[in-house]
Amino acid sequence: MDLKTSVVSAAAAFLAFVVSATCFAQADPASEPAVLAVAKVLPAVVNINTERVVRRTVRDPLDDVYSQFFGYNRFRPREVRQTLQSLGSGFIIDPAGYIVTNQHVVERAADLKIHVTAHDGKTYRAHYIAGDDKTDLAFIKIDAQTDFPFINLDDISPNLLGETVMVVGNAVGYGSSISRGVLSAVKRNITVEETEYKDLVQTDAAINPGNSGGPVVDLSGRLVGIASAKMAFTPQGLPTQGLGFAIPADVVRDSVNRFKQVAMKQGKLKGTPAPAGPGSVRVEKLFGMQLQDLSSELSDALGYLRRGVLITAVEPNSPAEDAGIKRGMVVYRVNKSDVSSVGQVEESLRSVQSGASVDFAIGVIRARGQDHELAALSLTAR
């Protein structure tokens, strides 16, 4: 075998290895966009259990007979108390624990006990702040002083026809349930129990009892809308399939802003801490990467070792994309400093100006002793 043939064979073998490795990486379920999106939003989704006491007057049917023939009732009517429970979903939109859900999930809130169960299994009491029957949206708050993961309403989905969407929530009492479909239509008007809802988005992703109030998100984890209703039959009584409806994200965002104004006037809106989640401002401006803290839930879902900061999005034609950085990778080091939160990355970049070169250690370290891939990259700030 001559030298030329040897070189060609070696190159072909190397190319086959690269293609095989690339296909293997693409086949890894942990890198699927849907898996990453669910891992991103699931910690902010809650199950809502409401309890309301109803008083009813009960009388013996034979009393009517006595009253008719003898002119009096044998017994006075009795009052009984009945506890009614309902289940639904919601999601946290602020690190202080403010939640948006459907109004019908927490209606008649003055008589309600509201219990919220977070993704980690912890249960909290919550109280009602404001709501709107017309949009079927409500605003409640967890009674706890701690920071919560949240879904950012400042970055919502463009709601494009045909995009993949996922419904996340408490389907038929099973928490953390996911269904998947596409965005079928926008600006749908429907009537449910003589109430008309306008400009809803339509999806064929399954919406079941208990999903009401839960988020519908796209493959980037951005809010598409709030699951609201499923149409099982047409007005003519014909059965339907794949007709679910959600309140669009822009309506949710505008309603929350209005609820906050009401709460401020009532003195119910407390000061909220700065976002601890996707608030990666400088790293996005300088390099085109969006980051998120790598929580234990995210680490478990992705099979990663709990270290570093997760890259949730890479801007096209940015320094990050030009360097081959992909969504789902993890930032482990900035210059000479190890990082484990978005805040630490931002602090490391505080004095970086346009044109400066910054060294990163980026890749994936998997848990349970699996192989890991790391690369040392030098990016120039734009």
Q: What is the per-residue pLDDT across 228-280, written as a single tens digit (0 to 9) for each?
A: 877 665 666 666 677 889 999 999 999 998 888 777 766 656 544 334 344 45
Is the model's pLDDT at 62 over the cut of 60?
no
* Residue 193: predicted pLDDT: 62
For the chain, domain boundaries = 3-31, 42-142, 164-266, 281-380
Which range among 147-156, 273-282, 308-317 shows the weakest confidence by mean pLDDT? 273-282
Whether 212 is catalytic is yes
At position 3, the amino acid (one-letter code) is: L
Is the model's pLDDT at 127 over the cut of 70?
yes
* Residue 235: predicted pLDDT: 64
Per-residue DSSP letters for 76-127? PPEEEEEEEEEEEEEEE-STT-EEEEEGGGS-SGGGEEEEEE-TTS-EEEEE
Q: Give the span between the Cα atoms of 67 and 70, in whole angstroms.
A: 5
Cα R_g (the chain), whole angstroms: 27
164-266: CATH topology is Thrombin, subunit H (2.40.10)
Q: Give the span between the Cα atoms of 300 and 372, in whole angstroms.
A: 16
3-class DSSP state of 20:
helix
CB atoms within 10 A of CB 238: 7
Q: What is the average per-residue pLDDT within 95-123?
A: 83
Same fold across 42-142 and 164-266:
yes
Is the model's pLDDT at 115 over the cut of 60?
yes
Q: Tokens 């009253």 correspond to what residue?
A: 67
Provide the mean pLDDT of the chain.
80
Q: Which of 212, 220, 228, 299 is catalytic?
A: 212
Which range among 274-278, 315-319, 323-327 shows the weakest confidence by mean pLDDT? 274-278
Q: What is the average per-residue pLDDT within 169-196?
A: 84
151 exposed, middle or buried (CB, 10 Å; 0-12, 13-18, 19+)? buried
Q: Tell me the pLDDT band of 119, cut-offs 50, 70 and 90.
A: confident
Whether 104 is catalytic is yes
Q: Tell me the pLDDT band of 202, cut-offs 50, 70 and 90.
A: very high
Whether 296 is catalytic is no
Q: Give the span between the Cα atoms of 332 and 309, in whole angstroms.
A: 7
* Residue 104: predicted pLDDT: 86
Q: Give the span between the Cα atoms of 323 and 202, in whole angstroms.
A: 38
- Measured on CA atoms in the order 327, 332, 336, 340, is the torsion positive or negative? positive
Residue in 164, 126, 103 with CA at minimum distance from that of residue 49: 126
Q: What is the average per-residue pLDDT within 216-233?
A: 86
Contact 218, 165 (CB under 8 A): yes
CATH 2.40.10.10 fits 42-142, yes or no: yes
- Give the class (CATH, top level) of 281-380: mainly beta
Q: Give the span between the Cα atoms of 184 and 180, in whole angstroms.
A: 12
CB atoms within 10 A of CB 298: 21
* Residue 58: predicted pLDDT: 56
Q: What is the pTM of this model?
A: 0.61
Contact 296, 305 (CB under 8 A): no
pLDDT in tens, 356-382: 999 999 998 887 666 677 899 999 999
Q: Which of 94, 136, 218, 293 is catalytic?
A: 136
247: Cβ contacts below 8 Å, ≥ 6 apart? 135, 136, 137, 197, 200, 201, 225, 226, 228
Q: Give the span between the Cα atoms of 366 and 350, in whole angstroms.
A: 30
Q: Which of 89, 104, 255, 299 is catalytic?
A: 104
Highest mean pLDDT among 14-18, 20-24, 91-95, 105-109: 91-95
pLDDT in tens, 158-169: 999 999 999 999
**CA 57 to centroid of chain Cα atoms:** 43
* Residue 186: predicted pLDDT: 93
272: Cβ contacts below 8 Å, ≥ 6 apart? 94, 95, 96, 98
Is the model's pLDDT at 306 over the cut of 50?
yes
Residue 316 DSSP code: T
Q: Give the span between the Cα atoms of 348 and 139, in whole angstroms.
A: 37
- Measured on CA atoms in the order 335, 337, 343, 349, is the torsion positive or negative? negative
At position 315, the amino acid (one-letter code) is: E
Find the largest Cα–Cα distance for the chain. Answer: 120
